[in-house]
Amino acid sequence: MEPAIPMTRLKLASVQYVNADPLTWGFRRGPFRDTFEVLQVPPSRIPDLLAAGRADAGLIPSIEYQRLDDVALLPYLCIASKRRARSVYLASRVPLDRVRRVALDENSRTSAALLRLVLEHRDLRDVAFVERAPTLREMLRDNDAALLIGDAALTADTTGLHVLDLAAAWHEITGLPFVFALWAVRRGVVLPDGVRPFLESRQIGAANLPLIAREAAARLRLPAASIEEYLRVNIHYHLGSEEARGLDLFYRQASESGLVPGRRAIQFAAPADLEPAQAGRGPR
């Protein structure tokens, strides 16, 4: 009998932030470890890994779907916020209507685009942007304001600053949730069991939120209860009809503002006829 040939694990590119853990927990710590390998990188690198064929699927910044060729989205899954996100905000030394120069977290793509749209809505169009490493004090050294995302936003001290939560600002403008990230798969990649492992990984993450929060608390030096509340209340992981409407509106506005070359219709890689009850909603 010939020895079995080990199956090559599919490579998933994900971010290093705690808000991705509920989606990737089943791949990193659960039953799908032998099927998928998770690469944890800054969000700005994930599109490049997909384009170069160095990742089979990735948790892409939502804006990058409009810039990437030959990828499709997985249904029912996202990182989104209905109102206040807590981990995506503009922190300013001056009142927001006086902001003229902004340091962008160099890892940001979607939030940088969202910030431009929010500022345009406030008639703040004469604003200069520069990219910086996500250290708030250094970002504000020679800029009026700084855009922070992810763990850096959760841990930054914003005492005495004017803070604009971008998900809350988007909801105030549109009445819709904002979708920050989505699972995308390269064309031609065959996913074992389609979308189901991704849905099950989300369910496993939902069941392990207290553990995820405790482990992140030690790393981020924040109270575990605060992190768990963030993952349960501020962030959610189900791409439903409202999220799809918000995403489509974001793409339309980004296209109209020249932030993306065109407006690409959303296409799903896996059949989207799975019943919502089967899909499982995970943490909301």
Cα–Cα dist 260/141, whole Å: 30
Taking only the tens place, the pLDDT of each residue in 97-155 is 999 999 999 999 999 999 999 999 999 989 999 999 999 999 999 999 999 999 999 99
Asked if 141 and 103 touch (Cβ cutoff 8 Å), the reply is no
> What residue spans of 77-158 are helical by DSSP H?
110-121, 136-139, 150-155
Q: Is the pLDDT of residue 230 over 50?
A: yes
CATH class entry, domain 10-82+177-279: alpha beta
Q: Which pLDDT band holds residue 271 (cuts at 50, 70, 90)?
A: low
Strand partners for 81: 178
Instruction: Check residue 270 and give its pLDDT.
Output: 59
Query: Cα 227 to the chain's mean position, in Å?
Result: 16
Q: Which pLDDT band holds residue 7 (cuts at 50, 70, 90)?
A: low
- Sorted by where each begins, the domain ranges of the chain are 10-82+177-279, 88-174
Instruction: Check residue 5 and give its pLDDT.
Output: 36
The CATH code belonging to domain 88-174 is 3.40.190.10
